[in-house]
Chain A
Amino acid sequence: MNLEITGLRLPLSAFALEVDARLEARITGVFGASGAGKTSLLEVIAGLRRPAAGRVALDGRVLLDAGRRFALAPERRQIGYVPQDDALFPHLNVRQNLCYSHAAGRPGHPPAITYARVVEVLNLGDLAERRVSSLSGGERQRVAFGRAVLASPRLLLLDEPLDGLDAELQQRVIPYLLTIRDEFGIPMLYVSHNADEIVALCDDVVLLDRGRCTRRGPPAALFTASPAPHYMLKPG
């Protein structure tokens, strides 16, 4: 994939988000402390928020050009979004949640992404008729992933997907994300403040500090094991 962000500027409460980057990795990590502007960045890319200035293009297709007052509606961007609180629709059961994008009548590209396949890959078979409120934390995350994947997105945005899960559960969910990358070939933008997750999943990492991208590089360049098996940011 090829996500080009040029001259992005979004005023936030304490500072402004300013990003200029070209992201091409299969899974790109956005690492930073809470409040660094990570969620806002995802919202702008998804089309849920308008910046004051900037241009965003995905695979050569312009999604947003503030200078020309052009902004593609979120439903036309084909960008999946899994927010921090998974936001599963409480009034629909698991199957209805998963199929929501299909019901929306969006033609899916890669026909490889079928309901059966997603259910199999993410182990959702037993959950289909269950009410969302009866699911465990890990189950909710998998359903949220499945729902976003079934929309056949060109890019998947994940906001702290493992936040709130205990360490053991986190280890169980990470392989699913890797499967999404490999089986479905969907590039991802992965936001987290947890170094271990970033190291485990990402090929490229962007460091966001108070709205600005201060460092960039592969995980090995930015993180060091200390003490193993946990990681922390190398002083820069």
Chain B
Amino acid sequence: MPAVSSEVWQVAWFTTWVAAAGTALILAPGVALGWLLARRDWRGKILVETVVALPLVMPPVATGLILLKLLGRRGVLGHAFERLFGTELVFTWRAVVAATAVMSFPLLVRTARLALEAVNPRYEQVARTLGAGPGRTFWTITLPLAARGLVAGVVLAFARALGEFGATIMVAGYIPGRTATLSTSIYHLVQLSRDDAAWGLLAISAGLAFGALWLSELLLRRRPAA
């Protein structure tokens, strides 16, 4: 097997940290929304559930297109961002983070919701009668009891972010050294008929995905006595 070049390491490293950044970005809102969906009911809840699930079901390029319209320099968010920070979102690493965040979000919300639903509400009720407010109850009772499932959800979202392609290519393109991820690099190499180089990236990509999924399964398998 040929020695792995520094270029490949750069791409692998970049892919890993944008996936981590994207996952970190959606962590709090994802768990919060998962909690709302698990514990509360309201008119129009189905609408929220459906909209959140859309990136899971729509073609990623379609989601990418919507993101492009929003994050582009003439888009609502892109324009505001440029006014505030003096630099653009699209075709930079920031767009890659945004794309991975949006595509992983529904997965995180889904697994967070399941993990939180699995916590017996009785525990939360008793905690309230013992003097804990909703916040304290969440941090000391709900979260620790849901921890395993939540971590599994985060790992799953991270794995999804690692493999993101369709939306990424739309909002960030393929710019070597700047926005090239493992998946967009594989696509690019295939276009250039450099299949053997593509296989190397594919192996790394598969390895990372395998590791993340394995960890997620491990965490979900052992449940604490409830």
Contacts and interface: CB of A to CB of B under 8 A. Distances in A.
Interface of A: 43, 46-48, 73-75, 77-81, 83, 85, 87, 89-91, 100-101, 103-106, 133, 147-148, 151, 153
Interface string B211-226: 0000000000000111
Contacts of B123: 87, 89
Contact of A75 (B128, B140, B225): B128
B170 interface: no
A184 to B, nearest CB: 16
B141 A89 contact: yes
A103 B131 CA distance: 9
8 closest A-B pairs by beta carbon, nearest first, are A106-B131, A104-B131, A74-B128, A101-B130, A81-B129, A87-B122, A104-B132, A87-B126
Contacts of A48: 125, 128-129
- For the residues of A in contact with B, the DSSP-based class is loop
A74 B129 contact: yes
A163 to B, nearest CB: 15
Given A46-B125, A91-B144, 11 more contacts: A73-B128, A73-B133, A77-B129, A83-B122, A83-B125, A87-B122, A89-B126, A89-B127, A148-B129, A151-B129, A151-B131
A147 B226 CA distance: 18
Contacts of A147: 130
A100 B137 CA distance: 11
Interface in B129-165: 129-133, 136, 140-141, 144-145
Contacts of A46: 125, 129
Contacts of B125: 43, 46, 48, 74, 81, 83, 87
B136 to A, nearest CB: 6
Contacts of B126: 81, 83, 87, 89
B120 interface: yes
Contacts of A148: 129-130
A132 to B, nearest CB: 9
Nearest to A156: B129
Interface of B: 120, 122-123, 125-133, 136, 140-141, 144-145, 224-226
Contact of B226 (A90, A100, A151): A90
A77 B131 CA distance: 8
Nearest to A103: B140
Contacts of B225: 90, 133
A75 B122 contact: no
Nearest to B225: A133
A100 B141 CA distance: 10
Nearest to B126: A87
A103 B133 CA distance: 12
A151 B133 contact: no
Contacts of A89: 123, 126-127, 141, 145
A147 B127 CA distance: 10
B78 to A, nearest CB: 43
Nearest to A48: B125
Nearest to B141: A89
12 contacts: A43-B125, A48-B125, A48-B129, A75-B133, A83-B125, A83-B126, A85-B122, A87-B120, A89-B145, A104-B132, A133-B225, A148-B130
Nearest to A77: B129
A77 B136 CA distance: 16
A178 B55 CA distance: 59
B210 to A, nearest CB: 31
A106 B226 CA distance: 27
Contacts of A83: 122, 125-126
B151 to A, nearest CB: 14
